[in-house]
Amino acid sequence: MQNDKIVVGLDIGTTKICVMVGRKNEYGKLDVLGMGKSVSDGVVKGKVINIEKTIVAIKKAVEEAEEISGIDIKVVNVGIAGQHIRSSIHRGSITRQDRDEEITVEDVNRLTNDMHRMVIPAGNQIIHVMPQVYTVDYDDGIKDPVGMTGVRLEADFHVITADINSINNIQKCVKRAGLDIENMILEPLASSLAVLSDEEKEAGVCLIDIGGGTTDIAIFHENIIRHTGVIPFGGNIITSDIKEGCMVMQQQAELLKTKFGKAIALEANENEIVSIPGLRNRPPKEISVKNLAHIVEARMEEIIDLAHAEILNSGYDGKLAGGIVITGGGSQLHSVRQLVEYQSGMDARIGYPNEHLGKSKLEQVKSPMFATAVGLVLVGYRSLDERENRYQEVKAKNQNVFNNERQKPGKREGDFFSKIINKTKSLLIDDFDDNDDF
């Protein structure tokens, strides 16, 4: 039944708004049925600053996705990002009644739900509560307590909050575009579903998602989310630097970045010149590719240094055997992987969402630029925490067993009383027959 489920992801980014429609095939891979995108004019650094422009952009992307997929889109999984995102570690606990009874999924869920009622700074709202490690009767370091016995159940939680006004603005835009929100997910967590393997999460890995307005960080270790962060710089700041440094138009600066930009200036040819059209009645402007590379390298070094500082502050420096995975539109810059390795001293690779994708007529969905959109669709089939996936499977299995037991032709309460009545009838008939003999 889950294979028939259609899931739609809505990525409201600083550069683009993307709508992706997907369905799982018989091999468990994601088939992208359609995708629509539009220019994001009303969003700056992940924050909606113009409601009307954002609504128009969402509607345009939805219409394009509907036309390609042939599906009427009503419900979406929405990504959220921006400088207003905050993460912190908090500890929660519950006391169980019976020491000898096993800890159940319900106990774990009760502990997690209690964290949603914790006091947070005014103007913020909790969007994710993610357990890290549990403690059962002071026995700590437990990844999954279900099935153990104990009275006191405690856990450290990674709590992610967002500005309530930003959340309300996103909800308002989506609703006024004629859509309902099924889930609201932090974008780097969605991207992690699309580009990180379970082995990398187990070994320890840092995801760097370089978007247009921000760069998002997510650190995993032992298959558990350990740290998230947001850097207020992305690909757009590089474009702005090129615009100012080369004295060109914004659109020309973006083209220069994507077509000729290099993250390592040493790889640029000093004699290579790019000629771009001048303004009205002015001669063409010549741009040195070497100078362009110096501008790109300086800003990329700053972004990578800030990302590396997040790793150091998380306390997991030296524990990430999986290294760094770079994704997002900014990861497509020439030589960015080599610069990340040089600056951080860690292994790195570019994160493509290919692993979870089936055959698709839309080849562009395999680009790192659409990793978040793919992840938002995958959220409809998988949980952000692998333990939650297992709990759902157990719950479904128990429900099936319960349903099968109810359908079995066994002894029912009605059958028991029917047998008593029939037995009584037979005794009365026997007595009546005996009286006839007299």
Q: Domain residue spans in the chain?
A: 86-161, 237-295
pLDDT band at residue 362, thresholds of 50, 70 and 90?
confident
- Whether the per-residue pLDDT at 419 is higher than 90: the answer is no
Place of tokens 């998002």: 216
CATH architecture assignment, domain 237-295: 2-Layer Sandwich (3.30)
- Region of poorest pLDDT, from 325-334, 340-349, 361-370, 414-423: 414-423
For 86-161, give the CATH class: alpha beta
pTM here is 0.86
300-342 tens-digit pLDDT? 999 999 999 999 999 999 999 999 999 999 999 999 999 999 9
Residue 145, pLDDT score: 93
Give the mean pLDDT of the chain. 88
Token digits for 346? Answer: 């860690």
